[in-house]
Amino acid sequence: MSTFQIDFGEQKSPVVGIDLGTTNSLVAVMGATGQPEIIPGPDGSKIVPSVVSVSPTGEVLVGAAARDALLTSPERTVYSAKRLMGRGHADVQDELALFPFHIAEGSESVIRLRLGDRVFTPPQVAAEILRHLKENAEVYLGQEITQAVITVPAYFNDAQRQATKDAGRIAGLEVLRLVNEPTAAALAYGLDKRNEGVVAVYDFGGGTFDISILKLHDGIFEVLATHGDTHLGGDDIDNLLIHIALEDISSEWGEDVSGNQEAVQLLRRAVIRAKEELSFLPSASIDLEYKGKAYRREFPRDVFERLIAPVVERTLGPCRECLKDSGVPVEDIAEVVMVGGSTRIPLVRKAVETLFKARPHTELNPDEVVALGAAVQAGILSGDVEDTLLLDVTPLSLGIEIMGGVVSKLIHRNSTIPASATEQFTTGVDGQRNVLIHVVQGERELVKDCRSLARFDLKDLDPVPAGMARVEVRFLIDANGILNVTARDVRTGKEQSVDVKPSYGLDDQQVEAMIRESYERAEEDFRERQIREARVEADAILAATEKAKADDAWYDLSADERQAIDRAVNELLVVYNAEDHILILDHIERVNQATGKLAETMMNTAVRGALKGTKIDDLG
């Protein structure tokens, strides 16, 4: 049994950068040459599909293995779970129509997904992917990894960011920073070039769209404005094509297969293949063979482009808004950096070029550039990358509910973060002991049109006449884009306790429980693996002993010696199914000892035979 313990002493282990994508995830690190590099998995592949599956035996599969399980056991498998991060049940009704998510009971404020007999929240699904990437990095680097930078869509709100941070904690990673995906891409592009000027980053991924405009100046990457849509991506294009194909199939085969998960997943693969081919071929076909029936439809590129034009158009609105917010005239945009797999589509490139009047940059692999940038940011945080500094913004305005369900904005969108605002609150009733503050995110005037973020309860106020209490509340958005709230009694100057009830997502206790659960599960998994390995070893020694009993050497042993071996073998067979690897290993050792002489005799005979053979060969 070879277990190993790594002890780094005081030496700091590297900080990795992780792109936790809707479709694919990657991990990268700053290499010895000062350039970021993607860390491949044991199979050599850099990309880990963001798919998680639970096998019938309860084993969690991640990546390519889980993607294969999408076909065989779709009811135990989840993909594109990033779309559910930090969202409530009511938010995702649209998604549920398009994605085969299996929602479990009790999903009002946090969605729970059923995978086989287990239930996962979206952060737990993400944690499985993160843990997989962490292990890949540990194997590749030969070091334990405990700290990471994780990227998020720039337009992610507070709850979505918090959910991502929770995922890191559950996976056993200290998340040193959440970095916005387009900003990370700019870092990856700008590191060696030392550009000056204004650039736009157009990030069209599997499930999210972001646009950011940055000013580059002497190693400082200052985000001027960002905009986006957290539910717009290549998935939407896939769904359009799937929808058409399903209708075709329904009329051609006289059979509606839209409820058949296996058929839909096969079709999804066929559609994605056709979509990808259309990026470099004038025409491609969607081919599906299912249960002896075949469907085929040829898509010329112009038909495809007409079909997806509305999706591409939906990205341009945020681009125009972002330009306006940045205050930069479009002529001043020197370059547009293209990020995300969907930017391979020629129509997308054309639309971006037309809008920004600048040639899109596509030198770096659009699938890898975000992870590379995350590694650069990891290098900045660990001190390995000097002189480069990222100044990012908050994508959404932060406000509080005031009378009449109206929002009073405290921190405006596109404010450089960290950013803060201070507000004084008082009581409306004599002797009132607490004040409830409702915080929302969004640009609209009314609370009902914004995203509820959390309710903060200022508790245990001194009972004073109405209007006499003075509580100063400080709202601070940190460098991760996550809100922190502190409160102080102005009259006494003492810190005021704040009880936070997040509107969506997990509270601290739930996250703690999930971390504990993941430890326990890891221990359980480890124990199971040890037992399995002990049994494999037992199988090997039992087989070898059985074989040896046919050898001449067996008859050279005394009756006592043979009896001792039989007894040891029988005892090993008795404990073989015990859930105790130490017991099994102990009995393996006994068989080992009992068969020591037998093995020696056999070895000598074999060596003699081999030597004899050699001599004859030599002579020959």
Partner 1 sequence: MAVTSLSQDYFSFFGLPRKLSLDLTDLQARFYALSREFHPDRFARAAASEQQHALDATALLNDGYRVLRDPLKRAEYLLSQEGFDIGEQRSKDVPPELLEEVFELNMLLEEMPDRTELEQARAKFHQMQSGTDAELESLFQKYDSSGDRNVLQNIRGVLNRRRYIQNLVRDVEKALA
Residues noted as catalytic: 19, 82, 181, 203
Structure tokens belonging to residue 589: 């050792």
Spatial distance between the Cα atoms of 611 and 604, rounded to a whole number of angstroms: 10
Of the two residues 283 and 420, which places its CB atom closer to partner 1 in the complex? 420
Contact region for partner 1 (CB under 8 A) — 338-346, 376-384, 490-498, 502-510? Answer: 376-384
For residue 416, the SS3 value is: strand
Spatial distance between the Cα atoms of 169 and 175, rounded to a whole number of angstroms: 7
Contact region for partner 1 (CB under 8 A) — 48-56, 419-427, 430-438, 556-564? Answer: 419-427
Spatial distance between the Cα atoms of 246 and 295, rounded to a whole number of angstroms: 10
Asked if 406 and 447 touch (Cβ cutoff 8 Å), the reply is yes
Of the two residues 144 and 528, which places its CB atom closer to partner 1 in the complex? 144
From 390, 437, 450, 568, residue interacting with partner 1 (rule: CB under 8 A): 390
Of the two residues 17 and 49, which places its CB atom closer to partner 1 in the complex? 17
Structure tokens belonging to residue 231: 């539910």
Of the two residues 148 and 267, which places its CB atom closer to partner 1 in the complex? 148
Q: Is 328 in the site for partner 1 (CB under 8 A)?
A: no
Structure tokens belonging to residue 279: 């990026």
Of residues 103-162, those binding partner 1 (CB under 8 A): none
With left for phi above 0 and alpha for psi between -120 and 50, is residue 387 left, alpha or beta? left
Of 196, 60, 59, nearest to 128 (Cα)?
Answer: 60
Helical segments of 1-113, H only: 64-72, 93-98
Of the two residues 250 and 422, which places its CB atom closer to partner 1 in the complex? 422
Q: Is 218 in the site for partner 1 (CB under 8 A)?
A: yes
Contact region for partner 1 (CB under 8 A) — 307-315, 362-370, 384-392, 501-509? Answer: 384-392
For residue 334, the SS3 value is: strand
Contact region for partner 1 (CB under 8 A) — 261-269, 382-390, 396-404, 444-452? Answer: 382-390
From 177, 231, 349, 438, residue interacting with partner 1 (rule: CB under 8 A): 177
CA 490 to chain centre: 43
Least distance in Å: CB of 493 to partner 1?
14
Least distance in Å: CB of 219 to partner 1?
9
From 420, 434, 503, 530, residue interacting with partner 1 (rule: CB under 8 A): 420
Contact region for partner 1 (CB under 8 A) — 90-98, 214-222, 237-245, 247-255? Answer: 214-222
Instruction: Name the amino acid, one letter, at 387.
Output: D
Give how far Cα 48 sits from Cα of 213, 337, 368, Å: 29, 23, 11
Spatial distance between the Cα atoms of 191 and 198, rounded to a whole number of angstroms: 15
Q: Is 605 in the site for partner 1 (CB under 8 A)?
A: no
From 382, 432, 434, 530, residue interacting with partner 1 (rule: CB under 8 A): 382
Of the two residues 7 and 387, which places its CB atom closer to partner 1 in the complex? 387
From 55, 415, 432, 601, residue interacting with partner 1 (rule: CB under 8 A): 415
Least distance in Å: CB of 196 to partner 1?
13
Of 267, 276, 275, nearest to 295 (Cα)?
Answer: 267
Contact region for partner 1 (CB under 8 A) — 98-106, 158-166, 341-349, 414-422? Answer: 414-422
Of the two residues 182 and 379, which places its CB atom closer to partner 1 in the complex? 379
Helix (H) or strand (E) holding 401: strand 398-402
For residue 412, the SS3 value is: coil
Least distance in Å: CB of 372 to partner 1?
18
Q: Is 45 in the site for partner 1 (CB under 8 A)?
A: no
Q: Is 417 in the site for partner 1 (CB under 8 A)?
A: yes
Of the two residues 220 and 468, which places its CB atom closer to partner 1 in the complex? 220
Q: Is 383 in the site for partner 1 (CB under 8 A)?
A: yes
Q: Is 217 in the site for partner 1 (CB under 8 A)?
A: yes
Structure tokens belonging to residue 585: 């290993």
Least distance in Å: CB of 222 to partner 1?
8
Least distance in Å: CB of 224 to partner 1?
12
Least distance in Å: CB of 312 to partner 1?
23
Give how far Cα 92 sits from Cα of 41, 79, 208, 449, 574, Å: 33, 15, 15, 16, 53
Total chain residues near partner 1 (CB under 8 A): 24
Least distance in Å: CB of 479 to partner 1?
5
**Range list of β-strands (E), 43-163:** 48-49, 51-54, 60-62, 77-79, 113-115, 118-120, 147-152
Query: What share of residues in the chain are helix, strand, coil (percent, to 5)?
Result: 45, 25, 30
Burial of 127 (0-12, 13-18, 19+ CB in 10 A): buried
Of residues 3-42, those binding partner 1 (CB under 8 A): 12
Structure tokens belonging to residue 564: 């001792």
Least distance in Å: CB of 447 to partner 1?
18
Of residues 467-486, those binding partner 1 (CB under 8 A): 476, 478-479
Of the two residues 364 and 391, which places its CB atom closer to partner 1 in the complex? 391
Least distance in Å: CB of 498 to partner 1?
16
From 418, 432, 464, 542, residue interacting with partner 1 (rule: CB under 8 A): 418
Spatial distance between the Cα atoms of 163 and 232, rounded to a whole number of angstroms: 19
β-strand partners of 263: none
Structure tokens belonging to residue 439: 């915080």
Spatial distance between the Cα atoms of 542 and 548, rounded to a whole number of angstroms: 10
For residue 19, the SS3 value is: strand
Of the two residues 44 and 383, which places its CB atom closer to partner 1 in the complex? 383
Q: Is 381 in the site for partner 1 (CB under 8 A)?
A: yes
Spatial distance between the Cα atoms of 214 and 229, rounded to a whole number of angstroms: 18
Give how far Cα 356 sits from Cα of 236, 316, 336, 337, 359, Å: 24, 10, 8, 11, 8
Q: Is 426 in the site for partner 1 (CB under 8 A)?
A: no
Instruction: State the residues that interact with partner 1 by CB under 8 A.
Output: 12, 176-177, 217-218, 220, 377, 380-383, 389-391, 415-421, 476, 478-479
